[in-house]
Amino acid sequence: MRNISYAEALGEAILEEMERDDTIFTYGEDVAKQGGIFGAYKSLLGKFPNRIFDTPISEEVIYGSALGAALVGMRPVVEFHFADFLFTGIQSITLQIEKIRYMTGGQGKLHLVLRGPDGVSNSAAAQHSESIETIFMHIPGIKIIIPSTPYDIKGLMKTALRSDDPIICFEHKSLYATKGEVPEEEYFIPLGKAEIKKEGKDITVVSMSRMVHESLRAAEELEKEGISLEVIDLRSLVPWDKETVIRSVQKTNRLIVAHETWRRAGWGAEIASTIQEEAFDFLDAPIARIGARNVPMPFNALMQNFVTPNKENIIIEAKKLLGR
């Protein structure tokens, strides 16, 4: 099977769906001429001249126009440049996009995808480094996917582009250049279906995005000490696959939830609460939550690394749960 990058797999998914469906068009800041700031649109350069274009820096208009286009049957794909900038157009998202289908009794279908980079990067500081997915998980009416591999970004994006619901896709900046196996034949990944990236018997680790890779690195190191982690990649946050997590906890009897977003009120709290409510009898230890420290992201590289969780945090919590 061929190996391609995360950015290439993403661009390939959008290209294939645009060739199949002429109601799909895509726009955002620096996509048509530059190919996106992380190269996701390189494969689209020079193609679809009337269906891919650059926009001014005006997020409220960008997201509001996507809403209007979707309401008349188009399928817009909007790059939000940086996840942090979703806040500059949040009224269109939280007051309109997330509510239209409910308010119209399902008549106002929204074939709409908002996608773009999130997460920490090298000294990008407080306004270009946030993982804000929990905020959109909290408000009903939108689905959220967070792929961690080239295989997952292509399969999930193709599913998203054929959905009748509005979807946000968060893509970690550190993943765009990573490579992985992606089949040439068409495939789809259903929303709300987690994947067990590594089977284990001692502790379940639930994660997404960059922290999946940190979890796998932690598992590899802990294996040398006789500690076996089962690593689950949720892949989508809304909906999330609680059945797979519960089955794993029934086997391991311990749970760590690891994410890059802030620990305080992060989405890991929702996972932990659900497991406590529905699988408490299987737990042999308290649930551990790992997330970023509750401060804005520093510019200084040493401070950034201090704030951001990594494999070491997972190793420490795993040993605590086992009394090591």
Provide the 3-class DSSP secondary structure of residue 197.
strand
Distance CA 10, CA 47 (A): 16
Could you say which of 128, 172, 213, 259 is catalytic? 128
Nearest by Cα to 197 from 238, 152, 242? 152
Active-site annotation holds for 128: yes
SS3 content of the chain, % helix, strand, coil (to 5): 40, 20, 40
Cis bond upstream, residue 239 (ω within 30)? yes
Rounded CA gap, 317 and 222, in Å? 11
CA–CA distance, 258 with 291 (Å, rounded to integer): 6
Could you identify the residue written with the tokens 């993982």? 131
Asked whether the beta carbons of 282 and 250 are under 8 A apart, the reply is: yes
Strand 24-28, strand 52-54: pairing: parallel
Tokens read off for 277: 């409510």
**What are residue 229's DSSP bridge partners?**
203
Residues 205 and 203: their CA atoms lie apart, in Å, by 6
- CA angle (236 as vertex; 277, 19 as ends), nearest 5: 160
CA angle centred on 160, ends 216 and 55, rounded to 5°: 105
CB 8 within 8 A of CB 181: no
188 neighbors 17 (Cβ within 8 angstroms): no
Alpha helices (runs of H) in the chain, residue ranges in sequence order: 6-20, 59-71, 90-91, 100-103, 133-138, 150-161, 210-223, 242-252, 267-278, 301-307, 311-321
Catalytically annotated residues: 128
